[in-house]
């Protein structure tokens, strides 16, 4: 790679070395910030969607609402036994009466909640990944007909939908930015080809091959893209770090779910390199196609 970026003098002498000058690398840097941010958003929101779809969906709350205390107690006991025996339930935990009262107090007022007011039984359970909620629910209904099963994620479904949509949009923005970057490179290469047209003619007449000329342009485009990509990455990292701080400060489970894993960070870090490679390829194709029209 290094050798390729720093060719022997002979190759460098062929055309004027104009890289890292002019607005091109800076424009690429700006576009790369956008691209990396869009990429980060795609990945982070993707993580959130997975988290909601996975963790939250697997957590259910079972409520027993039964006015008759005896029947309530009987069903509670049956439910606990069943949950303990069911292999699709990873673990379960009954929410204690005291805790429940605390939860309810703000709604009903502490004085109303005497010992005589029947408090429902609540059990939190976590399903084994891949377990089917409807099957489990049917079985629970059989042992405890008074059970009402709440899927925590059910309430989050619209949020998950929204996140999914935002994710698709972020992905589209990223793809469009990449397309814009490639177009910019094509235009820049064509411009340079025009500027150096007479030089290229002379070099052709001296027996330079299209590949020789293309190598020069593709190296230049790759260096521009790499430079722009690294600057873009630095700026984008700053923005993401700032945003991450704000999100952490919110201490919300939902926003916390939208985080970047190590592999995501690695992927984003690779983007400048990928951009350089794509830029080289685009430049090569552009140059060869243009040169082929000459004699």
Candidate segments 143-151, 176-184, 204-212, 253-261, binder of other proteins by CB under 8 A: 204-212
Q: Which is nearer to other proteins, 151 or 212 (CB)?
A: 212
Q: Hey, what are 199's tokens?
A: 């030089």
Q: Which stretch binds other proteins (CB under 8 A): 14-22, 90-98, 146-154, 214-222?
A: 14-22
Return d(Cα 248, Cα 240) in angstroms, integer. Answer: 12
Q: Which stretch binds other proteins (CB under 8 A): 2-10, 43-51, 133-141, 165-173?
A: 2-10
Residues 47-86 that bind other proteins (CB under 8 A): none
110: contact with other proteins by CB under 8 A: no
Task: State which residue, 18 or 102, has the beta carbon closest to other proteins.
Answer: 18
Q: Which of 20, 108, 110, 202 binds other proteins (CB under 8 A)?
A: 202
User: In the complex with other proteins, which residue's Cβ is closer, 101 or 204?
Assistant: 204
Q: Which two tokens stand for residue 36?
A: 């990396």
180-199 residues in contact with other proteins (CB under 8 A) are 198-199
Least separation in angstroms between CB 18 and other proteins: 9
Residues in the chain: 295
Which residue in the block uniquely carries the two structure tokens 């025009």?
Answer: 194
What does the angle CA 274 – CA 280 – CA 283 come to, to the nearest 5 degrees?
135
Q: What angle do CA 105, 109, 112 make, to 5 degrees?
A: 105
Among 9, 21, 245, 263, binds other proteins (CB under 8 A): 9
Q: Which stretch binds other proteins (CB under 8 A): 9-17, 145-153, 226-234, 251-259?
A: 9-17
- Binding of other proteins by 209 (CB under 8 A): yes
Which of 1, 2, 10, 262 is the binder for other proteins (CB under 8 A)? Answer: 10
Query: Cβ 205 to other proteins, closest distance in Å?
Result: 6
- Dihedral (C-alpha) 5, 10, 16, 21: value to the nearest 10 degrees? 20
* Neighbour-count burial of 68, counting CB atoms closer than 10 A to its CB (0-12 exposed, 13-18 middle, 19+ buried): exposed
- 144 φ, ψ (degrees, to nearest 5): -135, 90
Query: Are the CB atoms for 256 and 55 separated by under 8 Å?
Result: no
Encoding tokens for residue 173? 């923005």
**Measuring CA to CA, which residue among 80, 87, 85 is closest to residue 130?**
87
Using CB under 8 A as the criterion, which residues of the chain lie in contact with other proteins when the complex forms? 8-11, 13-16, 198-199, 201-209, 212, 292, 295
């Amino acid at each position: 790679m290094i050798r390729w970026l720093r060719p022997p003098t002979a190759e460098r002498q062929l055309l004027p070395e104009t890289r890292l000058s002019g607005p091109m690398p800076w424009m690429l840097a700006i576009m790369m910030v956008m691209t990396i941010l869009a990429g980060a958003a795609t990945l982070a929101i993707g993580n959130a969607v997975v988290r909601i779809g996975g963790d939250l969906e697997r957590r259910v709350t079972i409520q027993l609402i039964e006015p008759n205390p005896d029947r309530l107690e009987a069903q509670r006991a049956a439910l606990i036994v069943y949950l303990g025996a069911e292999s699709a339930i990873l673990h379960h935990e009954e929410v204690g009466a005291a805790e429940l009262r605390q939860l309810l107090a703000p709604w009903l007022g502490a004085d109303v909640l005497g010992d005589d007011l029947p408090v429902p039984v609540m059990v939190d359970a976590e399903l084994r990944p891949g377990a089917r909620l409807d099957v489990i629910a049917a079985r629970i209904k059989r042992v405890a007909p008074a059970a009402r099963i709440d899927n925590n994620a059910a309430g989050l479904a619209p949020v998950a939908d929204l996140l999914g949509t935002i994710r698709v949009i972020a992905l589209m923005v990223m793809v469009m930015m990449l397309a814009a970057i490639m177009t910019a490179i094509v235009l820049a290469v064509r411009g340079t080809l025009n500027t150096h047209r007479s030089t290229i003619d002379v070099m052709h007449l001296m027996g330079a091959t299209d590949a020789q000329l293309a190598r020069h342009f593709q190296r230049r485009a790759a260096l521009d893209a790499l430079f722009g990509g690294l600057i873009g990455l630095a700026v984008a990292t700053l923005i993401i770090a700032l945003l991450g701080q704000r999100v952490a400060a919110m201490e919300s489970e939902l926003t916390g779910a939208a985080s970047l894993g190590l592999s995501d960070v690695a992927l984003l870090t690779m983007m400048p390199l990928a951009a350089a490679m794509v830029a080289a390829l685009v430049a090569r194709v552009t140059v060869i196609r243009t040169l082929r029209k000459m004699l």
